[in-house]
Structure 1
Amino acid sequence: MIEQNMTKKHQPELIHTASYSVLVERTSRKKTASLKVDEGEVTIIVPKLLEQEKIDEILADKHSWIVDKLAQYQAHSPSLAREYVSGEALPYLGRNYRLKVLTGDLAPTKLMNGRITVTVPEPSTQTHYIRRALVNWYKRHADKKIREKVRRYESLVGVETGVVRTKEFKSRWGSCTPYGDLEFNWVIVMAPNRVVDYVVIHELCHLLHHDHSPQFWKEVERVMPDYKENKEWLREFGHGLCV
């Protein structure tokens, strides 16, 4: 996917309060405003032409509710391993890239000169927006890379695929249907490139054998003779893949 510059007209809006920031999403599909707090991130979705004064009134009215939701999140969420500061290492297909956090209007996240660059208005207080930008970046690249790998390996396995999607799974790396539809956990692109290949081959082979029988593993080994090494890497280190 070609990353394009975001014009000022389409930049997301941020409203800053003393204790949190609010992301404003404007849409022509809504006639009323809605508010959500998800993983410590406050978002208000409003009609496209709703006046700023009305948005401020909604936020003021819901201030106590927002603070309560944020407190609940802080109390029940595990401490994040990442600090989301410049210089932090971010894995992608077996290589570590350095995070570079810039101050400015929200802009598309880019990989340039060996650094993954994220731009937010207030980096020191907006780690959730930095994380959101990184997640979106990983999802875009996972969708592209995994589709490429499916196209590469489906002929080697000897199958035809249907729809290929990337999404977020809680406890698995991929799934398939008898119709050839495949779904992959986008987080897998944080693993080494060969491990990603293994996950793709694994799901493609399930289109031939819908279980983990000896015949299934024999097919996996035919396409990837060193699959056991990649399977073991995933078993040992896969739980640590996170943004």
Structure 2
Amino acid sequence: MSEVQLREIELLGKSVEYEIRRSAEASEPRIDVDIHGVTVVVPHSIDTLPTELLKENASWVLEKQRMYQAYRDEAPKRTFEAGEEFPYLGETHELVIESRQSHTVSATDQYQTIRLRQSAVKQSSVKRALENFYRNQARQHFADRAEQYASQMGVEYTQIEIRNQRTRWGSCSPSGTLGLNWRLMMASPDVIDYIVVHELAHLREPNHTQAFWDLVSEYHPEYVEHAEWLKENSARLIFSKADL
């Protein structure tokens, strides 16, 4: 269990709102900055002053805030209507809603489309049907890529969970569960492969040591390029304003 307290502090001349979350699960104090704000997580067992931690890391906190503000500013304006364009595996696809048996992707010489089942849209919404399409595609695509790379890397994972994090692309638990964000289906296959290799590498090297990055580089030599793409272009993978 954790308890949350709201505070405000001045960092390098700028007023910053933050939460204090005292947690029995945390082993050491840390600062989390995401698109929703700043949180200082403090273990119950450690007497730490959140203000000191924030001041010591003021530049980092402000830079993270600036990054997430830019992320919000660059977010695509989605209307979720037929004819709108959405990325799928790094390529632009026009959204089509029609009477059909299932959602699918199709391509011609002129353009590529995501075709949604009309009855599913009527039962829920375009947004929900499209998200379900991405999730279903992610489940198969991630499984295929993880199986291939796990075999090459000589590691075993237990399962893949399709996650819905707003700012995290992947995770790997000590038990071998890979958590992969379905929004990655809007990125290119190479970027997806980088995240899959990154998380599988944690099964051999838990921390981001040089040995870890050497392992990632062995199986995905272009990892720096694709990690940088995610850093600079993650706003392109925002699905809706609910992500903000």
TM-score normalised by length of structure 2: 0.60
Task: Report the alpha carbon displacement of residue 101 of structure 1 after superposing the two structures with TM.
Answer: 3.0
Q: Quick check: 1:107–1:120 contact (8 Å CA) kept in 2? A: no
Residue 224 of structure 1 aligns with an amino acid whose one-letter code is H
Task: Report the alpha carbon displacement of residue 120 of structure 1 after superposing the two structures with TM.
Answer: 4.4
Q: Quick check: 2:76–2:238 contact (8 Å CA) kept in 1? A: no
The Cα offsets for residues 108-161 of structure 1, whole Å up to 9 and x where unpaired, read as 43323432123547x8xx8x7001000000000000000000001012222111
Q: Which of 152, 163, 167 does residue 167 from structure 1 map onto?
A: 163
Q: Quick check: 1:178–1:207 contact (8 Å CA) kept in 2? A: yes
The answer for the alignment partner of 1:230 in structure 2 is: 226
SS of 1:83's equivalent? coil
Q: Quick check: 1:94–1:191 contact (8 Å CA) kept in 2? A: yes
The answer for the alignment partner of 1:86 in structure 2 is: 82
1:48-127 alignment, distance < 5 Å: 81-102=77-98, 108-113=102-107, 114-120=112-118
SS of 1:116's equivalent? strand
SS of 2:104's equivalent? strand
SS of 2:144's equivalent? helix
The answer for the alignment partner of 2:174 in structure 1 is: 178
Residue 92 of structure 2 aligns with an amino acid whose one-letter code is N
The answer for the alignment partner of 2:136 in structure 1 is: 140
Tell me the distance in 2 between the aligned counterparts of 1:147 and 1:239.
Answer: 25
Query: Does the alignment pair 1:149 with 2:145?
Result: yes
SS of 1:152's equivalent? helix
Task: Report the alpha carbon displacement of residue 89 of structure 1 after superposing the two structures with TM.
Answer: 1.6
Tell me the distance in 2 between the aligned counterparts of 1:120 and 1:224.
Answer: 40
Identity in percent: 33
Query: Does the alignment pair 1:130 with 2:156?
Result: no
The two structures, once aligned, show a CA RMSD in angstroms of 2.4
Tell me the distance in 2 between the aligned counterparts of 1:164 and 1:191.
Answer: 19
Q: Which of 138, 141, 154 does residue 158 from structure 1 map onto?
A: 154
Q: Quick check: 1:107–1:118 contact (8 Å CA) kept in 2? A: no
Tell me the distance in 1 between the aligned counterparts of 2:82 and 2:175.
Answer: 45
The Cα offsets for residues 11-67 of structure 1, whole Å up to 9 and x where unpaired, read as xxxxxxxxxxxxxxxxxxxxxxxxxxxxxxxxxxxxxxxxxxxxxxxxxxxxxxxxx
Structure 1 ranges of 4+ moved more than 3 A? none
Tell me the distance in 2 between the aligned counterparts of 1:225 and 1:135.
Answer: 31
Structure 2 residues not aligned, in runs of 5+: 1-72, 240-244
TM-score normalised by length of structure 1: 0.60
Tell me the distance in 2 between the aligned counterparts of 1:199 and 1:133.
Answer: 25
SS of 1:81's equivalent? coil
Residue 110 of structure 1 aligns with an amino acid whose one-letter code is T
Task: Report the alpha carbon displacement of residue 93 of structure 1 after superposing the two structures with TM.
Answer: 1.1
Query: Does the alignment pair 1:199 with 2:171?
Result: no
Q: Which of 207, 212, 225 does residue 211 from structure 1 map onto?
A: 207
Tell me the distance in 1 between the aligned counterparts of 2:236 and 2:174.
Answer: 31
